A = this chain, B = another copy of it.
Amino acid sequence: MTAAANQSGRRPTTSRRLERAGIRDVAAAAGVSITTVSDALNGKGRLPDETRSRVREVAERLGYRPSAAARTLRTGRSGLIGLTVTTYGEEPFTFTEFAYFAEMARAATSAALGRGYALVVLPASSRHDVWSNIALDGTVVIDPPDQDPLVSELYRSGVPVVSDGKPGNCPVTAWVDNDHEAAVLGILDHLSEAGARRIGLLTGTSTDTYTRLSTDAYLGWCHKVGQEPVYETYPAHDPAAGAVAADRLLARPDRPDAVYGLFDPNGTDLLAAARRYGLRVPDDLLLICCSESDVYAATEPPITTLSLKPRRIGTTVVNLLIDAIEGVDSGTGVDVGRLFPARYRTAGTGPPPGTLMPTELIVRASSQRRSTRTTVSPPRPRPAGEA
């Protein structure tokens, strides 16, 4: 070990007020080169254990923390993943508007963290300069609208993008979504079995994938079984409009004897509307809504809900993204291996690889004429294991 404890590198002897110790300081204090320090701390290079531990010791003593910025600049990896959330109205983003987003984001954060990444929350509406000023290794986008310029630019600049929700016309690296069609069909069947003669739908006016696919599935089912569609639409982001729409639906002359509501608050709203019209649930009206909230276990009566299992979605999205980040850098081949049940997946230059995740119907009193069983029964066999 050579004695190189004097000024190493170009650091000027003067000034330099006491700031954080840099790698050069550690090198000087340990009497080695900065190369050795870097290698010792990162477990690289060929160094005897003695040197390694000595350097580590010195670094610890000096409270050395490598500069994330410098590392990012050099390696091209920031360890940061963007989480783009949609914006409704003037509020920056829904995020917690519906429990779905909250749960999904939570799971995503957790999954990312488990693999050494952190999540940056970025509303889609945020000023361009804000998120273009952040070094992102990849981005998760939630339900991107068609031709989303943000997604396009990200993708074009080489940043992997994985979307929650089948993208309409966006070039994404991969996507994950529920099998909304299967879910709706399962619900309609369930209601039919429970004795429903005319099933209504409470849906949204927006054109996002979820709303579109679900509504289409409903309409298709109606066409197939020969029922006249009975549905009302409202802007899903408006909490007040939901109650009004629920009321409208039950006030129709062709009042349905069963209703599925696509959005979280629909259950409460429909229940209230039913009460106003003197309809008993489930005797006069069967009720199901899509929700992640467990308040529906405690309503009077408890309401059957469809869970989209947002945790699983969030976990999967992040894992796919990180696989893409750490996998083959360029090229189409995203390493979508071993990950969850993939119902549908394409390769080559066609549409990006997508993964469909199952949903779960939590059957409660509101969707059963005479409460026989109250066990949990998924619409289709769900895969074992995983969150």
Contacts and interface: CB of A to CB of B under 8 A. Distances in A.
Residue among A65, A69, A119, A131 having the largest count of chain B Cβ atoms under 10 Å: A69
Interface stretch (A108-116, A220-228, A341-349): A108-116
Interface in A63-82: 63, 65-73, 76, 78-80
A1 interface: no
- The 8 A-B pairs with the shortest beta carbon distances in the complex, nearest first, are A96-B102, A92-B110, A69-B73, A69-B72, A68-B135, A69-B135, A113-B126, A73-B73
B80 A120 contact: yes
Copies, count:
2
Contact of A109 (B66, B67, B68, B121): B121
Interface string A95-134: 1100100110110011001001111111100110111111
A123 B113 contact: yes
21 contacts: A20-B158, A66-B133, A68-B134, A71-B133, A72-B72, A73-B73, A80-B134, A91-B110, A93-B109, A95-B105, A95-B106, A96-B99, A96-B102, A96-B103, A109-B121, A113-B126, A116-B130, A116-B133, A118-B126, A119-B121, A120-B120
A272 interface: yes
Contacts of A157: 20, 63, 65
Give chain A's interface secondary structure class: mixed
Contacts of A119: 120-121
Interface in A121-159: 121-123, 126-127, 129-135, 156-158
A298 interface: yes
Contacts of A102: 95-96, 102
Interface of A: 19-20, 63, 65-73, 76, 78-80, 91-93, 95-96, 99, 102-103, 105-106, 109-110, 113, 116-123, 126-127, 129-135, 156-158, 268, 272, 295, 298
A240 to B, nearest CB: 11
A248 B196 CA distance: 42
A103 B96 CA distance: 7
